[in-house]
């Protein structure tokens, strides 16, 4: 896997709307538009998350065995305990695991915010496959050094007041600790980058299985922007696609996760359908519009390698799953928070199939 090959990350052209699928399809194209500058820039920093001044060699986190977990709530005896899934023995099969985070960030706000969406993506060159696992934001887990809380708070805890790179590091470690999956890299996308990516591609076609009616959908200024999308095949622009991806008042987070994965696959199909020439023509403008809303610790060279692998993965080798009803149970904390607790014996086989088995 591409672990720690480059001490300084680069972001030159990722227009990923929350998914490695779209990223790896387009990265090669966007990289080429820099022509002779590509080789020189491949290992240079461009647009990673900012790190506090004292953090000069990565974010140091305490060892898990020494972090002294203080539970935020005590689970009754008949409830599953949110403990880590045992990690499989160390693997080096060439796969790359990337934590994709959609950030609830409005225009003008800093990059430190709760993660609205969390998805773990894996590209495996040995069997030419891609795996996606959507992780519910209300999953109640151990956050190393901070006790138990919802998984979407890990980024905020790690960021502190001014260290979003530490937030990404803690979010990755939280996934590793609780799911037993080694995470190699992070990729973060905010709302505007999501919108601009889809609009840059001319919109996407999505089959909506039933009418979507959400009269209290939040707008970008924390007000309301009612949403209605009729059932059937629909052509969505970027903002409507964002609303389709985020709405959950009509159903729940699990259906929302399925819609997000549906959009990612539609984006991949649209990017592949446009072809290299059209993407190359659009690359400079897309990069200018998207760079402010995307952060990653992947270098351009790593992204191009991933693009070369993932662009040829057939649809039948793309597996997308959600940690849904079969893998979690509802629980109310002593503070009255409604959360989800992972059922380890149910989730472990799925996680092994997606991320640990050759």
What is the pLDDT confidence band of residue 50, given thresholds at 50, 70 and 90? Answer: low
Question: What is the pLDDT at residue 197?
Answer: 83
pLDDT, position 123: 92
pLDDT of the residue at 79: 47
pLDDT value at residue 196: 84
Per mean pLDDT, which range of 10-14, 31-35, 86-90, 145-149 is the poorest?
A: 10-14
Rounded to the nearest integer, the mean pLDDT of the chain is 73
Contact indicator for 276, 282 with CB cutoff of 8 Å: no
Flag whether pLDDT at 74 surpasses 60: no
Query: Given pLDDT bands bounded at 50, 70 and 90, which one contains residue 84?
Result: low
Percentage of residues in the chain with pLDDT exceeding 90? 25
Q: Which of 15-29, 96-110, 315-329 has the lowest mean pLDDT?
A: 15-29
pLDDT at 269: 81
Confidence (pTM): 0.71
Q: What is the DSSP letter of 117?
A: E
C-beta separation of 91 from 101 below 8 A: no
Is residue 305's pLDDT more than 90?
A: no
CB 79 within 8 A of CB 194: no
Per-residue pLDDT tens over the stretch 189-213? 887 888 888 888 889 999 999 899 9
Residue 42 confidence class, pLDDT cut points 50, 70, 90 = very low
- Per mean pLDDT, which range of 93-97, 235-239, 275-279, 319-323 is the poorest? 275-279
What mean pLDDT is predicted for residues 308-316? Answer: 80
Q: What pLDDT shows up at residue 237?
A: 95
Buried (b) or exposed (e) across 181-191, using 16+ Cβ within 10 A?
A: bbbbbbbbbbb
Domains of the chain: 20-50+66-201+248-356 (3.40.630.190)
- Taking the mean position of all CA atoms in its chain, how far away is CA 238? 18
pLDDT in tens, 109-160: 666 666 778 889 999 998 899 998 989 989 999 999 999 999 989 988 998 8
Helices in 34-149 by DSSP H: which ranges?
Answer: 37-41
With CA atoms as reference, report the closest residue to 253 among 137, 105, 149. 137
Query: Is the pLDDT reported for residue 71 higher than 80?
Result: no
Q: Which helix (H) or strand (E) holds 214?
A: strand 212-214
**Residue 2: pLDDT above 60?**
no
Least confident of 41-50, 105-114, 264-273, 334-343: 41-50
Residue 189 has a pLDDT of: 81
Tell me the C-alpha distance between 192 and 131, whole Å: 25
- Band the pLDDT of 67: cuts 50, 70, 90: very low
């Amino acid at each position: 896997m591409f672990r720690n090959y480059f001490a300084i990350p680069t972001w030159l052209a990722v227009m990923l709307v929350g998914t490695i699928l779209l990223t790896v399809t387009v990265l090669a194209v966007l990289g080429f538009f820099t022509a002779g500058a590509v080789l020189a820039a491949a290992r240079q920093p461009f647009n990673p998350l900012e790190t506090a001044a004292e953090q000069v060699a990565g974010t140091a986190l305490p060892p898990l065995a020494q972090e002294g977990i203080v539970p935020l709530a005590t689970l009754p005896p008949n409830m599953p305990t949110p403990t880590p899934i045992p990690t499989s023995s160390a693997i080096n099969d060439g796969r790359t695991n990337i934590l994709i985070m959609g950030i609830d960030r409005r225009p003008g706000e800093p990059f430190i915010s709760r993660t609205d969406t969390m998805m773990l993506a894996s590209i495996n060159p040995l069997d030419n496959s891609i795996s996606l696992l959507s992780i519910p934001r209300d999953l109640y887990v151990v956050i190393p050094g901070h006790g138990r809380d919802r998984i979407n708070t890990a980024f905020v805890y790690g960021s502190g007041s001014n260290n979003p790179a530490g937030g990404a590091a803690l979010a990755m470690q939280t996934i590793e600790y609780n799911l037993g999956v080694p995470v190699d890299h992070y990729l973060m996308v905010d709302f505007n980058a999501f919108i601009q990516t889809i609009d840059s591609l001319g919109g996407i076609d999505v089959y909506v299985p039933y009418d979507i009616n959400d009269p209290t959908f939040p707008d970008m200024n924390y007000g309301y922007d009612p949403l209605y999308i009729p059932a059937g095949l629909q052509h969505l622009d970027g903002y409507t696609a964002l609303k389709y991806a985020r709405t959950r008042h009509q159903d729940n987070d699990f259906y929302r996760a399925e819609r997000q994965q549906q959009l990612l696959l539609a984006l991949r199909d649209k990017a592949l359908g446009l072809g290299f020439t059209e993407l190359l023509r659009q690359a400079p403008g897309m990069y200018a519009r998207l760079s402010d809303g995307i952060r990653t610790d992947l270098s351009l060279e790593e992204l191009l390698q991933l693009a070369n692998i993932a662009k040829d993965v057939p649809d039948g080798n793309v597996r997308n799953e959600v940690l849904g009803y079969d893998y979690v149970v509802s629980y109310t904390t002593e503070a009255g928070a409604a959360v989800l607790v992972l059922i380890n014996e149910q989730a472990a086989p799925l996680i092994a199939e997606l991320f640990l088995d050759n």
